[in-house]
Amino acid sequence: MTQRALVIGASGGIGEALCTVLATNGSEVTRLSRTADGFDITDPASVEGAMNKYSGQFDMVLIATGILAPEGARPEKSLVEIDKETMARVMAVNAIGPALVLQNLPRLLPHNARCVVGVLTARVGSISDNQLGGWYSYRAAKAAANQIVRTAAIEIARKRNKAIVVSLHPGTVETSFTKAYPGHPKVAPSDAAANLIALLDQLTPAQNGGFFDWAGKAVPW
């Protein structure tokens, strides 16, 4: 069982649900969010300042931040809809932000005990699984996030051989992000959170650097 967890993006639909599941399971949960803490995952100073407030070690860290598109925009359906500023914002939140968190994270992880870092990306970040096209910014940002997680997993494990750093696909979750897509089957945030925590509790260091869906199945890169 997780003793001490840090959830980044704790005010979002799935982030809040993750906090609830962990707390119900008896974990000590530290919450970090834009809403409650003014946390800006795209600002290096904000990330460093927030992470420096913590001491001790966490045996589970979850990065549950992300956007489909900036407010007032939508995922692109075709090449003609690509917009430089929109793409830059999606990349900043979904890829650069988690990289900044991972940059400041190692000192908060134990050296000689099992710890798990789960970064919520998405199946649409899989290059080989892309059969439909579209959603250029979101797909590209999640693919970049997957590469960042994979690379960080390798580095972190050099000094923490019991660390497990993974990308996670939670399924399509009922949140404000997905309400504009009524045709897609969705799961409640509480169910998605319970699935992810159950998965993370079962992973071993041999699976470090992997990309898994909510059911524990490996997702192709």
Q: Parse the chain into domains and list their residue ranges.
A: 4-213
Report pLDDT digits (tens) over 196-214: 999 999 999 999 999 999 9
Determine the pLDDT at residue 179.
61
Determine the pLDDT at residue 95.
98
> Average of pLDDT values for 36-54?
97
Between CA 71 and CA 68 the distance in angstroms is 9
Determine the pLDDT at residue 175.
66
Determine the pLDDT at residue 186.
75
**Does domain 4-213 correspond to CATH entry 3.20.20.70?**
no
Evaluate if residue 102 carries a pLDDT over 70: yes
Report pLDDT digits (tens) over 144-197: 999 999 999 999 999 999 999 999 999 988 866 666 655 667 789 899 999 999
Predicted structure pTM score:
0.93
- 5 Cβ contact partners less than 8 Å away, ≥ 6 residues apart: 22, 27, 28, 29, 30, 58, 59, 60, 61, 62
Provide the mean pLDDT of the chain: 94
Q: What percent of the chain has pLDDT over 70?
A: 95
Between CA 37 and CA 124 the distance in angstroms is 30
Report pLDDT digits (tens) over 62-100: 999 999 999 999 999 999 999 999 999 999 999 999 999
